[in-house]
Structure 1
Amino acid sequence: MRAVCLTVGLVTAYYLLPLDGRGTARTTVLLTCGLLAVVLVFLWEVRAIVRSPSPRLKAVEALSATLALYLVLFACVYYVMERSSPGSFSEPLTRTDALYFTLTTFTTVGFGDIAARSQTGRVVTMLQMAGGLMLVGVAARVLAGAVRAGLRRQGREPPPE
């Protein structure tokens, strides 16, 4: 339930935050600080998993929190990028369009109805693609290790793989 509430809160904040400012420097700062926040939240969640009385449940919560933050971050960046450099995408992006583009890119569905046109847009999209692969692959492995460590700490070691 906490994961759902956090996701709803992040999406609500995304729609309410004043993201209409212009400037590529702001976009770069937003992306850099946002990615740092994703890493810090992830590391904090790994620590919480190891100490949790329910490490498996905490891992699901951690993955959903990290994923929601990651997706909302890129939706913000795409939205601000389109505002500061109109024409960066094949069509003007509303907040919903930016979130939609983020999700279609993350899920590798890529319907092709919205595409990055500018070099900056393509670089940021490639960063999202690579980061998404790392988030799914590396994060899942790290979270599984944290769950095992949490279970070992409680004396409920999982069966060997």
Structure 2
Amino acid sequence: MRAGAAAGVVVAYFLLPLDHLGPQRPVLSWLLFALILTVVAVLLLRQIRHVLVDRPDSRPGMVLSLLIVLSVHVFSATYYALAKQPGEFTGLHTRVDALYFTVVTLATVGYGDITPRGQSARIITVLQIAYSFVFLTAAATALTQRMRDMVVRRTDRDRDRAG
């Protein structure tokens, strides 16, 4: 299910009419970006809370992974739409360029082949870095904690059965 949902996010990213956003509809573009990013952040926090309270009926590994993929594609779509405005980016022309730039920024690699030039592009890039630092790091930490807890429980259960 998780792979199918993640594939759906990727397919949607390449098929959604993002060319209708950006400079043609700036208010709608900014509202959609803020709304979707807020919803994803709230859902991430909810899943992180499920891990912290050790809610047994939750499946945070699946949901957190999907939300991380979704957040990457939200930033990619925003960069793609923003690049339609002259002067915002150098080297960003396609959806693949936008996805590449998002991943490179997330990985803090920064090759320099795509550069945010305009103020809006720089603001979104800074926001992505901050968002990744806060939300995606917390999500990855929660996933790691959940996996560690599962291994400890399994080890304890196996030890109790054996001895």
Q: Tell me if both proteins adopt one fold, taking TM over 0.5 as the criterion.
A: yes
Equivalent position of 1:120 in the other structure: 120
Asked if structure 1 preserves the Cα contact closer than 8 Å seen for 2:44 and 2:135, the reply is no
Alignment of 1:8-157 (within 5 A): 8-21=7-20, 22-46=24-48, 47=50, 50-52=55-57, 58-83=59-84, 85-142=85-142, 147=146
- Aligned letter for 1:27? S
Q: Which has the larger radius of gyration?
A: 2
Asked if structure 1 preserves the Cα contact closer than 8 Å seen for 2:116 and 2:125, the reply is yes
Partners of 2:70 and 2:62 in 1: how far apart? 12
TM-score, normalization: structure 2? Answer: 0.76
Asked if structure 2 preserves the Cα contact closer than 8 Å seen for 1:79 and 1:94, the reply is yes
Partners of 2:122 and 2:103 in 1: how far apart? 15
Asked if structure 2 preserves the Cα contact closer than 8 Å seen for 1:30 and 1:77, the reply is no
- Aligned letter for 1:100? Y
Kindly indicate whether structure 1 or structure 2 has the higher relative contact order, using CA contacts under 8 Å at least 6 residues apart. Answer: 1
- Aligned letter for 2:55? V
100-109 or 25-34: bigger deviation? 25-34
Q: Over the residues paired in the alignment, what is the CA RMSD in angstroms?
A: 2.7
Give how far 1:82 is off: 1.3
Asked if structure 1 preserves the Cα contact closer than 8 Å seen for 2:75 and 2:102, the reply is yes
Structure 1 runs (4+) deviating above 3 angstroms are 43-49, 140-145, 156-159
Partners of 2:120 and 2:88 in 1: how far apart? 8
Partners of 2:115 and 2:91 in 1: how far apart? 8
Give how far 1:91 is off: 2.2
Give how far 1:158 is off: 9.2
Partners of 1:136 and 1:16 in 2: how far apart? 25
Partners of 1:86 and 1:76 in 2: how far apart? 17
- Secondary structure, aligned partner of 1:50: coil
Partners of 1:122 and 1:93 in 2: how far apart? 17
Q: Structure 1 unaligned segments of length 5 or more: list them.
A: none
- How many residue pairs were aligned? 147
Partners of 2:113 and 2:25 in 1: how far apart? 26
Gap change, CA 1:50 and 1:143, over 3 Å in 2? farther
Partners of 1:157 and 1:144 in 2: how far apart? 15
Partners of 2:69 and 2:108 in 1: how far apart? 16
